[in-house]
């Protein structure tokens, strides 16, 4: 099962022959400006709190002709070195926008980060220049996206797309990068890597393309990997292989992971901690095993009963959460989950519940959080 | 890939047959008859009949068609019913002017159209984009003959920078050639560039929305690398399609341009012979222009295969 307790310094796996040594921070370079920046970043590697990433009150809005969508509305969380954080919620609740905000890849217009801090290695990414941000992207923080079919440039060979990152961030020469590209493909389990390196994306299967995406993402040994529904589009066996590969590599490189999914089962297996998002806000957060065993928000309970679980008899039928995700442009007063909630009380219509601690390290935003149980539904009322 | 190219080349045959049928039908169904025009206003019905017989117009249409196809395949493009000059000779003396115009106009259209389209897409919604789009809308909607007359009036008649009419081949005098083709080239180029701007902008905007552009951004690539390495390469395929459209725009454009600027090229020949119902020439010229167009598009299609690894099988 999971990786156990949160552990800032996860143990390195014994080296299997296929896996490579992590790369040095940065090889020799003649580029003085980049060198300078990197030195600066190393000197402020960790913030005072010691977290790798701290997101404070992040708010990202989209202005459309119909109105303003508060896609991310005051999200705060943190992540330690090497930690795996799950970000779950139904589609449209702001997971991707949160991730893209961290990367500062929100298309503007229509989107804009209107508020908040994203402190990564001690530096507020929302304040650095675009040029500095480009040095972070793909190098310190990388991202894997959902659609393996469309996420690679169709007219460039996969080798070329791998080399690109190596030449840009690690200042490798073309020859060095070519060699390394083959090693990376080999590392992510592409058979006959030396020959496949000249292939174009359409010549690979979906799973292989996602392996290439992982190779690109891990090529510069990032400190943080954001996997946005990276396996959702794949079939179940391939999905498991890709997740295992990501787990192996990130553990070996000491990379922290934000794993975005609408599948709590995936999170329970791979994440140390979980944030449950609904309508642009984090509604529950805590250790993965804790959330799984003892959910305190009705939405989390709903998500759990909509995926197969090992600890529930297989004949118990899966129940999707009734109703739909509310329109983010026109959210109701009070708790945004109210219309779909089996526990709702009068107060829920008036006040939006704040995220409050239930037990140390486990918080939920629900007025009735102390009544909520995993397997008891409204009947418990 | 070879199989695709062979298939594509063979597909030209039915297209040309279709074009031939349409060309022949248009010329023969259109009202007005060469015999009437030849006979003049005072001729009686018997005179007209005699002329029709000489021209072979009294034979059944099917037979005329078969005979025409047979002659065309043998390379006999016929000759003018008025002057007796063969189509081949007419084309030989006039193609120089038309080639000059279409090549310079086409180059101008591409040199203006692609960069403007790229800039407009890259800065979509900006002031530059709006300016470029207005340019494109004007270039497409302003009638060529009107703009042509304005240009003649402004630059040739008033400013006297350029000659008003005519054409001098480059073999005679390079400077006179340039002076004669400058305005017509600009006229053709503006119209062609407008079409290219629109296609390029639309194609690139589509590419910018692709997931792989977001991937490229997430790798930390500079905007220029994203544009030139990832977007333009993928966008090149739809942009090349434009060249096919451009060929059509240039071919129709030469008719107007050569008429306005009184340039003795193939375009003006088409205009003149359509008016006089000199049908052997009209048929052969239309067939020739359509064939050029079909082959330009054949080349465009083949270049897709070379450029796009997904089609390259
Ligand atoms: N480019 C965009 N333009 C307008 N609205 C957007 C855009 N991207 C995202 N949104 C809005 O943000 C909300 C959250 O989207 P997203 O973060 O992609 O959800 P998910 O949790 O499924 O990843 C969506 O409901 C959508 O309305
Ligand atoms: S606050 Fe009320 S409506 Fe919202 S989740 Fe809790 S019980 Fe349900
Ligand atoms: Mg998403």
Instruction: Report the alpha-carbon distance of residue B217 to residue B211 in Å, rounded.
Output: 10
Instruction: Report the alpha-carbon distance of residue A87 to residue A55 in Å, rounded.
Output: 13
Q: Is B309–A164 a contact, with Cβ atoms under 8 angstroms apart?
A: no
From the list B270, B99, B90, B264, the residue with the least C-alpha distance to B188 is B99
Residue A47 pLDDT greater than 80, yes or no: no
Q: For A103, which of B216, B218, B230 is closest by C-beta distance?
A: B218
A212-to-A190, A321, A367, B214 alpha-carbon distances in Å: 8, 35, 45, 16
The answer as to whether B12 is a domain residue is no
Q: For B219, which of A137, A150, A154 is closest by C-beta distance?
A: A137
Tokens of B312: 């390259």
Q: Does any ligand 2 atom lie closer than 6 A to the CB of residue A344?
A: yes
Instruction: Report the alpha-carbon distance of residue A341 to residue A352 in Å, rounded.
Output: 14
Count structural domains, chain B.
1
Residues of chain A contacting residue B233, judged by C-beta atoms under 8 Å apart: 153, 155-156
Its sign, for the CA torsion A43, A48, A50, A51, is negative
| Average confidence (pLDDT) over A337-362 | 91
Contact A239, A261 (CB under 8 A): no
The answer as to whether B60 is a domain residue is no
pLDDT band of residue B104 (cuts 50, 70, 90) is very high
The answer as to whether B232 is a domain residue is yes
Angle, CA of B264, B267 and B270, to the nearest 5°: 105
Looking at residue B82, its pLDDT comes to 80
Instruction: Report the alpha-carbon distance of residue A363 to residue B279 in Å, rounded.
Output: 88
Looking at residue A13, its pLDDT comes to 39
Q: How far is A41 from chain B (nearest CA, A)?
A: 16
From atom 6 of ligand 2, which residue's Cα is the shortest distance away?
A366
Its sign, for the CA torsion B111, B115, B116, B121, is positive
pLDDT band of residue B245 (cuts 50, 70, 90) is confident
Q: Is A165–B210 a contact, with Cβ atoms under 8 angstroms apart?
A: no
Residues of chain B contacting residue A143, judged by C-beta atoms under 8 Å apart: 218
Nearest residue on chain B to A145, judged by CA atoms? Answer: B215
Residues in contact with ligand 1 by the CB-under-6-Å rule are A 62, 64, 69, 71, 89, 91-97, 107, 110-111, 328
Measured in degrees and rounded to the nearest 5, phi and psi for residue B238 equal -65, -30
CA of A109 from ligand 1 middle (Å) equals: 13
From atom 17 of ligand 1, which residue's Cα is the shortest distance away?
A94
Looking at residue A311, its pLDDT comes to 61
Q: Is B212–A153 a contact, with Cβ atoms under 8 angstroms apart?
A: yes
The answer as to whether B15 is a domain residue is no
Contact A163, A171 (CB under 8 A): no
Nearest residue on chain A to B311, judged by CA atoms? Answer: A202
Instruction: Report the alpha-carbon distance of residue A243 to residue A245 in Å, rounded.
Output: 5
Considering only residues A378 and B226, tell me which one the structure prediction assigns the higher pLDDT: B226
Q: Is A145–B210 a contact, with Cβ atoms under 8 angstroms apart?
A: no
Q: Is B234–A109 a contact, with Cβ atoms under 8 angstroms apart?
A: no
Q: Is A105–B212 a contact, with Cβ atoms under 8 angstroms apart?
A: no
Tokens of B148: 């042509």
Question: In this structure, how many other beta carbons lie within 10 angstroms of the beta carbon of residue A246?
Answer: 26
Q: How far is A111 from chain B (nearest CA, A)?
A: 14
Looking at residue A309, its pLDDT comes to 62
Contact B232, B118 (CB under 8 A): yes
pLDDT band of residue A12 (cuts 50, 70, 90) is very low
Q: Which residues have a Cβ under 8 Å from the Cβ of B43 and sit 6 or more positions away?
A: none
Instruction: Report the alpha-carbon distance of residue B234 to residue A157 in Å, rounded.
Output: 13
Atom of ligand 2 nearest to the CA of A298: 5
Looking at residue A5, its pLDDT comes to 44
Looking at residue A49, its pLDDT comes to 65
Residues of chain B contacting residue A177, judged by C-beta atoms under 8 Å apart: none
| Average confidence (pLDDT) over B89-117 | 91
Measured in degrees and rounded to the nearest 5, phi and psi for residue A18 equal -75, -25
CA of B97 from ligand 2 middle (Å) equals: 80
Residues of chain B contacting residue A154, judged by C-beta atoms under 8 Å apart: 212, 234, 308-310
Tokens of B298: 């054949």
Q: Is A69 exposed, middle or buried (0-12, 13-18, 19+ CB in 10 A)?
A: buried
Instruction: Report the alpha-carbon distance of residue B264 to residue B229 in Å, rounded.
Output: 44
| Average confidence (pLDDT) over A142-167 | 92
Residue B116 pLDDT greater than 70, yes or no: yes
Instruction: Tell me the three-class secondary structure of A202-235, residue by residue.
Output: HHCCHHHHHHHHHHHHHCCCCCEEEEECCCCCCC
> How much of chain A is in helix, strand and coil states, percent to nearest 5?
30, 20, 50
Which conformational region is residue B228 in: left (phi greater than 0), alpha (psi within -120 to 50 degrees), or beta?
alpha
pLDDT band of residue B301 (cuts 50, 70, 90) is confident
Looking at residue A310, its pLDDT comes to 58
Within 13 A of A52's CA, how many CA atoms are on the CB side?
22
Q: What residues does B249 pair with on adjacent strands?
A: none
Considering only residues A312 and A355, tell me which one the structure prediction assigns the higher pLDDT: A355
Tokens of B243: 């060249």
From the list A95, A34, A35, the residue with the least C-alpha distance to A60 is A95
Within 13 A of A213's CA, how many CA atoms are on the CB side?
35
Residues of chain B contacting residue A228, judged by C-beta atoms under 8 Å apart: none
The answer as to whether B302 is a domain residue is no
Q: What residues make up the domain containing B113?
A: 88-278
Considering only residues A104 and B34, tell me which one the structure prediction assigns the higher pLDDT: A104
Looking at residue A11, its pLDDT comes to 42
pTM, two decimal places: 0.77
From the list B77, B82, B104, B102, the residue with the least C-alpha distance to B92 is B77
- CATH at B273: 1.10.3720.10
From atom 3 of ligand 2, which residue's Cα is the shortest distance away?
A338
Instruction: Report the alpha-carbon distance of residue B313 to residue B300 in Å, rounded.
Output: 17
pLDDT band of residue A232 (cuts 50, 70, 90) is confident
CA of A146 from ligand 3 middle (Å) equals: 8
Q: Does any ligand 2 atom lie closer than 6 A to the CB of residue A338?
A: yes
A49-63, A204-218, B56-70: segment of lowest average pLDDT: B56-70
- Kindly provide the b/e burial profile for residues B128-163, where b requires at least 16 CB atoms within 10 angstroms of the residue's own CB: ebeebbebbeebeeeebeebbeebbeebbeeeeebb
CA of A313 from ligand 1 middle (Å) equals: 36
The answer as to whether B213 is a domain residue is yes
CA of A101 from ligand 3 middle (Å) equals: 12
Atom of ligand 1 nearest to the CA of A325: 25
Its sign, for the CA torsion B37, B38, B39, B45, is negative
Contact A319, A301 (CB under 8 A): no
> How much of chain B is in helix, strand and coil states, percent to nearest 5?
80, 0, 20
Q: How far is B233 from chain A (nearest CA, A)?
A: 7
Nearest residue on chain B to A134, judged by CA atoms? Answer: B220
The answer as to whether B73 is a domain residue is no
Considering only residues A18 and B259, tell me which one the structure prediction assigns the higher pLDDT: B259
Residue A50 pLDDT greater than 70, yes or no: yes
Q: Does B313 touch chain A (CB under 8 A)?
A: no
Q: Is A135–B210 a contact, with Cβ atoms under 8 angstroms apart?
A: no
Tokens of B42: 């005072």
ipTM for the whole complex:
0.81
Q: For A139, which of B214, B220, B307 is closest by C-beta distance?
A: B220
Looking at residue A209, its pLDDT comes to 93
From atom 5 of ligand 1, which residue's Cα is the shortest distance away?
A62
Contact A54, A47 (CB under 8 A): yes
| Average confidence (pLDDT) over A10-38 | 44
Instruction: Report the alpha-carbon distance of residue A61 to residue A73 in Å, rounded.
Output: 8
Average pLDDT across chain B, whole number:
85
Contact A306, A319 (CB under 8 A): yes
CA of A223 from ligand 3 middle (Å) equals: 22
The answer as to whether B292 is a domain residue is no
């Amino acid at each position: 099962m999971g990786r156990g307790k949160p552990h800032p310094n996860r143990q390195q796996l014994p080296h299997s022959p296929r896996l490579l040594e992590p790369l040095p921070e940065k090889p020799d370079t003649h580029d003085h400006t980049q060198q300078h920046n990197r030195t600066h970043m190393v000197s402020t590697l960790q913030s005072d709190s010691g977290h790798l990433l701290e997101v404070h009150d992040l708010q990202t809005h989209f202005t459309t002709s119909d109105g303003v969508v508060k896609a991310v509305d005051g999200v705060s969380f943190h992540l330690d070195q090497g930690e795996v954080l799950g970000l779950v919620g139904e589609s449209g609740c702001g997971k991707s926008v949160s991730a893209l905000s961290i990367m500062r890849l929100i298309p503007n217009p229509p989107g804009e980060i209107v508020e908040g801090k994203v402190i990564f290695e001690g530096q507020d990414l929302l304040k650095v220049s675009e040029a500095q941000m480009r040095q972070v992207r793909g190098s310190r923080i990388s991202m894997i996206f959902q659609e393996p079919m469309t996420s690679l440039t169709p007219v460039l060979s996969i080798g070329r797309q791998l080399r690109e990152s190596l030449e840009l961030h690690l200042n490798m020469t073309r020859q060095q990068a070519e060699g390394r590209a083959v090693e990376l493909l080999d590392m992510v389990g592409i058979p006959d890597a030396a020959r496949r390196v000249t292939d174009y994306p359409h010549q690979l299967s979906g799973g292989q393309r996602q392996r290439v995406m992982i190779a690109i993402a891990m090529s510069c040994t990032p400190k943080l990997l954001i996997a946005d529904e990276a396996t959702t589009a794949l079939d179940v066996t391939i999905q498991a292989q890709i997740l295992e590969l990501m787990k192996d590599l990130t553990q070996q490189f000491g990379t922290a992971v934000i794993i975005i999914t609408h599948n709590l089962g995936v999170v329970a297996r791979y994440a140390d901690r979980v944030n449950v998002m609904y309508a642009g806000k984090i509604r529950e957060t805590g250790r993965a095993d804790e959330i799984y065993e003892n959910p305190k928000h009705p939405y989390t309970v709903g998500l759990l009963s909509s995926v197969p679980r090992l600890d529930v008899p297989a004949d118990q039928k899966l129940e999707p959460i009734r109703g739909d995700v509310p329109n983010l442009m026109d959210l109701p007063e009070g708790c945004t989950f109210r219309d779909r909630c089996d526990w709702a009380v009068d107060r829920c219509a008036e006040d939006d519940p704040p995220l409050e601690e239930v037990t140390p390290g486990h918080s939920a935003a629900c007025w009735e959080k102390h009544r909520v149980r995993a397997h008891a539904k409204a009947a418990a009322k | 890939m070879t199989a695709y190219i062979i298939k594509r080349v063979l597909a030209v045959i039915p297209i040309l047959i279709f074009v031939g049928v349409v060309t022949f039908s248009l010329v023969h169904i259109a009202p007005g008859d060469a015999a009437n025009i030849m006979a003049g206003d005072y001729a009686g019905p018997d005179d007209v009949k005699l002329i029709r017989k000489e021209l072979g117009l009294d034979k059944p249409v099917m037979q005329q068609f078969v005979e025409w196809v047979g002659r065309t395949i043998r390379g006999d493009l016929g000759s003018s019913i008025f002057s007796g000059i063969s189509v081949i000779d007419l084309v030989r003396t006039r193609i120089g002017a038309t080639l000059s115009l279409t090549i310079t106009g086409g180059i101008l259209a591409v040199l203006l159209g692609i960069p403007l389209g790229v800039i407009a897409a890259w800065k979509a919604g900006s002031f530059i984009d709006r300016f470029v789009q207005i340019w494109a809308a004007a270039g497409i909607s302003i009638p060529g003959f009107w703009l042509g007359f304005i240009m003649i009036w402004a630059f040739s008649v008033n400013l006297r920078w350029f000659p008003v009419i005519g054409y001098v081949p480059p073999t005679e005098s390079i400077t006179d050639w340039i002076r004669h083709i400058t305005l017509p080239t600009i006229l053709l180029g503006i119209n062609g560039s407008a079409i290219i701007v629109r296609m390029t902008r639309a194609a690139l905007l589509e590419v910018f929305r692709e997931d792989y552009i977001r991937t490229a951004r997430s790798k930390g690539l500079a905007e220029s690398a994203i544009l030139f390495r990832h977007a333009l390469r993928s966008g090149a395929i739809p942009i090349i399609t434009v060249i096919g459209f451009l060929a059509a725009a240039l071919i129709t454009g030469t008719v107007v341009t050569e008429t306005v600027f009184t340039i003795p090229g193939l375009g003006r020949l088409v205009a003149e012979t359509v008016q006089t119902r000199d049908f052997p020439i009209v048929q052969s010229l239309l067939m020739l222009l359509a064939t050029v167009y079909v082959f330009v598009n054949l080349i465009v299609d083949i270049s897709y295969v070379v450029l796009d690894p997904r089609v390259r099988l």
